[in-house]
Chains A and B, each alone.
Chain A
């Protein structure tokens, strides 16, 4: 039994009495505390991660120099924003601009802070909470390779999780890696849905010879060892973020297609579809306005697991060195560095990205499990 979702407007008078099915599912989901708190934690962390340039950055939040105010970290945050970031130009300030004599390269704000404190001329610098960027390496002064966690570097700042083989800060890379991994996986899942849902809908709705033929094609597509193939292609073409996204979506849309097809197949036999056909509703409208809202269960319950698979695929590709292009902070790349230096006792290089990966994936699986229980209570607790 499945009720039609009522829109907020139409249910306004009756809202006091009976909750809609979505409301009831949401309540059920909230009552499953493990999943609900996982969602709260993950969403907060993800939202917070968009402000990373203000929290974890080697650029100063505020520079007060010769009576003028500068906000390099805010600038770098604006630049980092998706889509509109390009409008803000560059976040580059040379050292000379702030009085670091002879430094025409990027200003070293940690040194600048010390310099201003020594000079005592009313200039000051406010650094972000954690003053390292995921990109600066050994070429910037103060970065030493293989600092252990909590060790104080030569520039007097504590390294929470140490530094890697190129002197890059592990904590900063881990934090930025979270943002990139999750964004990538979410976008990938969306893209999968954009391809997979319409195809699945058409297969289930039209059926017949078209369906049989397409089923064969899907079987072929599902038989191809996709991650290996993506690895091969990525090893040849060296993809960027968008290309990698497309490449993975090209192979992963099959999963949701099969689910949606089955759901449409079941739904189209119901009376409301026959009624819609009888009064002459166009086919695409029947599919997307009438059947689709009734097929939400697989769409929503599959999503978290699709995100988990996306993160797993990205980490695997990055681990092999065929993922996102090199300076990008990614957990997979960090793990491959960690594996190289495992024998020499540099355990933190492995532990940090690994812990981040474990925690993130586990949170998502907890969410997915609870979503499934809230939306699809017939089964006990089933994984895919």
Chain B
């Protein structure tokens, strides 16, 4: 068993690499990516006179080659795609930061540090002006001089990528992506976990009741409701609920989105809890609906199947109470398929919620990511896809693990 899960864990590595490669290649190769966007923006900024002169479309004619090269370098497009992917992973050296400096003058290189480039007969040497000692880990390249001034590019090269925990810096927020995501994770997690727990408790109970009254009006009505819920995307239901209960048009019961009230900080603890709950009702319904149908039907069918087994007949025959037979004997075996779904459902809650967060204007990871798509903030977009891939991968393993825990008959090999 341990061997099996060890193998599963090891197998996630190629799958992770493959999935991220697919995402990376598709996004990078799609025409109109970040580089083209920037070139477009530059062209717009440089004025429309050339476009009016019939030069539209000839980018090269307008933007100087040096600027183009600078852009390609910034986005890493000066290297082949496999190098870009490896550098993004963090297993290929890449330029972490670079500055244009003038020899003989100290250059600020961030975090209050300075570097002095000094010309030597053999080339250049880099010195920390504060200590006077040579600096290591930096590379120097001469640049074409500008206005008679000699210039060099100094750059630090190293391994930095998603494997080293570096998801890059957001183009929009100018902050590390990791920090942005961590800031918003608690909000998303709260919704995800509450939705997850609620859907499991309700679905298991509902599934049992439906199985016990199979074919009754209650069963048929709830089935119909469940099918309706199954067919509708969670975010669409959320928008519908907002229309019904979030505005004055019908019944104004709940707030029109958001995570907490504006004056949340001034509330007492009890009022805070109520306020949060008030904001949570509609989004939680939207979250839950996605997994509701499959879980309930799964539960119902598993229980029905078990109730027709011989060991249940035996239990009844030897005179056990009906409650005991159902809740202790049949239920324990019927829980198994539901438990096996846990990993998948968790993935659904954590990574599939961007549309719901957008509809309800909840400042979670999902909203951050989908807005990053709008703003073409690629580092955030990449980080979110990596996160989603990881959640799916480990969700699948978690499912198997739970399955092995609740069902001793199952032997993974």
Using CB atoms and an 8 Å cutoff, list the residues of chain A in contact with chain B: 34, 216-217, 219-221, 223-225, 228-229, 231-233, 235-238, 308, 312, 315-316, 319-320, 335, 338-339, 342-343, 345, 347, 350-351, 354, 357-358, 361-362, 364-366, 369, 379-384
Contacts and interface: CB of A to CB of B under 8 A. Distances in A.
Contacts of B236: 315, 319, 335, 354, 357
A315 B304 CA distance: 36
B30, B298, B305, B352: which has the most chain A beta carbons within 10 Å? Answer: B30
Interface in B13-42: 14-16, 18-19, 22-23, 26-27, 30-33
Closest 5 CB pairs of A and B: A361-B231, A220-B18, A347-B249, A225-B388, A365-B231
Given A223-B19, A228-B384, A320-B373, 4 more contacts: A232-B385, A350-B243, A365-B230, A381-B223
- Chain B interface category by residue count: 35 or more
A232 B227 contact: no
A181 B230 CA distance: 18
Contact of A379 (B31, B242, B301, B381): B301
Interface string B288-323: 000001100110110011000000000000000000
Given A232-B373, A343-B256, A384 B247 contact: no
B30 A350 contact: no
B392 A231 contact: no
B378 to A, nearest CB: 9
Given A224-B19, A236-B31, A343 B247 contact: yes
B374 A347 contact: no
Contact of A233 (B15, B30, B230, B233): B30
Nearest to B374: A235
B263 interface: no
Contacts of A366: 227
A345 B249 CA distance: 5
Contacts of A224: 19, 22-23, 385, 389
24 contacts: A223-B16, A223-B393, A224-B19, A224-B23, A225-B352, A225-B388, A228-B384, A228-B388, A229-B26, A232-B27, A235-B373, A236-B30, A237-B31, A308-B231, A315-B236, A319-B355, A342-B242, A347-B250, A361-B228, A362-B228, A380-B301, A380-B304, A382-B297, A382-B301
Contacts of B32: 236-238
Nearest to A348: B249
Contacts of B243: 338, 342, 347, 350-351, 354
Contacts of B33: 236
B31 A354 contact: no
B106 interface: no
Nearest to A235: B373
A364 B370 contact: no
B239 A315 contact: no
Contacts of A231: 370, 373
A223 B231 contact: no
A312 B388 contact: no
B375 to A, nearest CB: 10
B10 to A, nearest CB: 13
B259 interface: no
B331 interface: no
B232 A342 contact: no
A342 B301 CA distance: 40
Interface of A is mostly: helix
A339 B293 CA distance: 26
A139 to B, nearest CB: 26
A251 to B, nearest CB: 10
Contacts of B224: 34
B249 to A, nearest CB: 4
A350 B240 contact: yes
Contact of A320 (B248, B293, B370): B370
Contacts of B388: 225, 228
A345 B247 contact: yes
B355 A361 contact: no
Contacts of B214: 380
Given A216-B14, A235-B374, A379-B301, A339 B228 contact: no
Contact of B239 (A34, A354, A383, A384): A354
A156 to B, nearest CB: 27
Contacts of A233: 26-27, 30
B129 interface: no
B203 to A, nearest CB: 12
B239 A338 contact: yes
A380 B306 CA distance: 12
B280 interface: no
Contacts of B294: 383-384
B142 interface: no
Contacts of B340: none
A312 B233 contact: yes
Contacts of B16: 223
A350 B354 CA distance: 20
Contact of B351 (A216, A225, A236, A237): A225
B308 to A, nearest CB: 10
Nearest to B228: A362
Contacts of B359: 339
B376 interface: yes
B88 interface: no
B23, B236, B247, B388: which has the most chain A beta carbons within 10 Å? Answer: B236
A93 to B, nearest CB: 35
Contacts of B233: 312, 315-316
Given A358-B228, A362-B231, A216 B30 contact: no
Contacts of A347: 243, 247, 249-250
A350 B246 CA distance: 13
Nearest to B387: A225
A220 B19 contact: yes
B211 to A, nearest CB: 9
Nearest to A343: B256
Nearest to B390: A223
B196 interface: no
B270 to A, nearest CB: 29
Contacts of A379: 301
A216 B14 CA distance: 9
Nearest to B381: A232
A224 B30 CA distance: 17
A219 B297 contact: no
Contact of A223 (B242, B249, B392): B392
A117 B376 CA distance: 55
B235 interface: yes
